[in-house]
Amino acid sequence: MKLYRPTEECGIFGIYGHPEAANLTYLGLYALQHRGQEACGIVSSDGRSLHVHRSMGLVADVFGDQAIFRNLPGEAAIGHVRYSTTGDSVTKNVQPIKVDYSRGSIAVAHNGNLVNAQMVKDELEAWGSIFQTTMDTEVILHLLASSKQNALEDRIAEALGRLKGAYCLLFLTETRMVAARDPQGFRPLCLGKLGDGWVVASESCALDLIEAEFIREVEPGEVIVITKDGITSHFPLKKSEAAPCIFEFVYFARPDSYIFGKNVYMVRKDFGRQLAREHQVDADIVIPVPDSGVPAALGYAQEAGLPFELGLIRNHYIGRTFIEPQQSIRHFGVKIKLNPVREILEGKRVVVIDDSIVRGTTSRKIVKMVRNAGAKEVHVRISSPPTSYPCYYGIDTPTRKELISSSHTIEEIRRYITADSLGYLSEEGLLKAVGAGENPFCKACFSGNYPITFPKLAAAPQLDLF
């Protein structure tokens, strides 16, 4: 039996009512590349049929040939960037997925992870459905196709009613585009306007690139139907307490984006300020682990009154090492990605700021690198609490066993990464910085409190460090 793989980290973009729909979708995906680097695709509609181009690879490579756009005609298009976890890195799993069924064609692009996909799939198979991919997203299309409802929005509402978990979805038919966000609003999704056309994107940085106007965020539980007559908004699902993902602010979203009512850069800077209040240390300079640690390091340096320096230089022409599918590449990755600046570090007491420690391998290599470049002391500060629990809602975190803080104390982690001191931002500090008084967040990766229950959480087995 083929088990379903979560869709994991992804970005989605769609545009309706623009003569250059596929071209603009390409640009939108380019701005969302940080959300997934393994594969991408675009489906366009010319009003009569859907056209597809999808492949493994980066956006600029997959859509590098201008001729491709001649085969993506029409004034509406949706696109997807994807990263999957291990296995199943095959073209049939690249999104958007398009199917033809009794009522025409439909394509879907999904960001998030459905926690009950396997259960629904088993049921559907028992009724005779045949699945083509190993993505949880395909379940949605089968539910849509088997719905007895007439109107597309009713079929979508019925399908969504069966789903549990995190999803931001974009559907495209010959004549419509539909955007949907789960009732908890785990992942970000925003709505924009470009001329007479409508745009939907995972993050606002994609709107900025194509000079679309940011209108608002798609609300948790909202379904927006876009046709040539304009947009209509629906709330077909039972209301739930919102639980947007705090890790989008910590690491995943781009700092220039506006998500969950806030600018990511400003939030990260506040994480850094709060971190400085909680974990002061006598030091000479503050350096970030680029790029994810930069805004927090600026906040830390300003609050602590210490100089901010770029002690590590990043090669920008490689992807995020963590989300390369092969283990061997990840280990080698830190060196390909970062190089220390000896002139900045030599003889200094250095505070190194990163956004998170997952397995601990990156921090260990960075501390070694900074020390080898002549630093006298290396103090590591992390602008989020210890990541002790895996995410089931679309962020690619490893199993509990591989998460260093699930089975080790902060002192043990400090010794493992060989830092002179180690301090994490507290959960209270994180929530204070993000203004969580007004908004609840999903912070299951730190607290283990999952807003939607997930089949059986294994106890964390001990990870041997030394």
Length of the chain counted residue by residue? 466
Between 234 and 401, CB nearer to ligand AMP: 401
CA distance 96 to 93: 9
Angle between helices 264-278 and 294-304 (to 10 degrees): 40
Let me know if 10 is a catalytic residue.
Answer: yes
For residue 20, the SS3 value is: coil
Nearest 5 degrees, angle CA 305-CA 311-CA 315?
135
Do the beta carbons of residue 286 and residue 273 sit within 8 Å?
Answer: no
Ramachandran assignment for 437, one of left (phi > 0), alpha (psi -120 to 50 degrees), beta (any other):
alpha
Asked if 359 interacts with ligand AMP (CB under 6 A), we say yes
CA distance 433 to 229: 42
Asked if 446 interacts with ligand AMP (CB under 6 A), we say no
Asked if 397 interacts with ligand AMP (CB under 6 A), we say yes
Sheet holding 213-217, edge to edge: 50-56, 39-45, 76-82, 10-16, 197-201, 190-194, 213-217
**From 157, 267, 306, 358, residue interacting with ligand AMP (rule: CB under 6 A):** 358
Asked if 356 interacts with ligand AMP (CB under 6 A), we say yes
- Can you give the C-alpha Rg of the chain in angstroms? 22
Residues 247-266 that bind ligand AMP (CB under 6 A): 251
363 is in an annotated binding site: no
- The DSSP code for 212 is P
**From 181, 320, 381, 408, residue interacting with ligand AMP (rule: CB under 6 A):** 320
Please choose, out of 20-28, 254-262, 320-328, 428-436, the segment that lies near ligand AMP by the rule CB under 6 A: 320-328
Q: Which H helix or E strand runs over 431? A: helix 427-434
* Min separation Cβ 49 and ligand AMP, Å: 37
* Min separation Cβ 251 and ligand AMP, Å: 5
Do the beta carbons of residue 328 and residue 361 sit within 8 Å?
Answer: no
Between 373 and 380, CB nearer to ligand AMP: 380
* Min separation Cβ 9 and ligand AMP, Å: 7
* Min separation Cβ 299 and ligand AMP, Å: 16
Q: Which H helix or E strand runs over 137? A: helix 137-146
> Which of these, 44, 40, 39, 41, lies nearest to 22 by C-alpha position?
44
Asked if 357 interacts with ligand AMP (CB under 6 A), we say yes
**From 38, 222, 248, 396, residue interacting with ligand AMP (rule: CB under 6 A):** 396
**From 21, 160, 276, 289, residue interacting with ligand AMP (rule: CB under 6 A):** 289
168 is in an annotated binding site: no
For ligand AMP (CB under 6 A), the number of binding residues is: 19
**From 160, 323, 352, 452, residue interacting with ligand AMP (rule: CB under 6 A):** 323
442 is in an annotated binding site: yes
Residues with Cβ within 8 Å of 405's Cβ and at least 6 positions away in sequence, in order, are 357, 386, 387, 388, 413
Asked if 147 interacts with ligand AMP (CB under 6 A), we say no
Do the beta carbons of residue 381 and residue 352 sit within 8 Å?
Answer: yes
**From 23, 292, 383, 407, residue interacting with ligand AMP (rule: CB under 6 A):** 292
Between 84 and 356, CB nearer to ligand AMP: 356
* Min separation Cβ 300 and ligand AMP, Å: 15
Between 44 and 405, CB nearer to ligand AMP: 405
Between 177 and 250, CB nearer to ligand AMP: 250
355 is in an annotated binding site: yes
Structure tokens at 341: 């600046």
Between 204 and 362, CB nearer to ligand AMP: 362
Structure tokens at 319: 């992807």
Do the beta carbons of residue 112 and residue 185 sit within 8 Å?
Answer: no
Secondary-structure percent of the chain, ordered helix, strand, coil, rounded to 5: 35, 25, 40
Please choose, out of 59-67, 69-77, 92-100, 358-366, the segment that lies near ligand AMP by the rule CB under 6 A: 358-366
Structure tokens at 5: 């793989």
Between 109 and 338, CB nearer to ligand AMP: 338
Query: For the window 360-389, what string marks contact with ligand AMP as x by the rule CB under 6 A?
Result: xxxx--------------------------
* Min separation Cβ 380 and ligand AMP, Å: 11
205 is in an annotated binding site: no
Strand 190-194, strand 197-201: pairing: antiparallel
Please give the residue ranges that form the binding site for ligand AMP (CB under 6 A).
Answer: 251, 289, 292, 320, 322-323, 354-363, 395-397
Catalytic residue ranges: 10
The annotation places the binding site for [4Fe-4S] cluster at: 245, 391, 442, 445
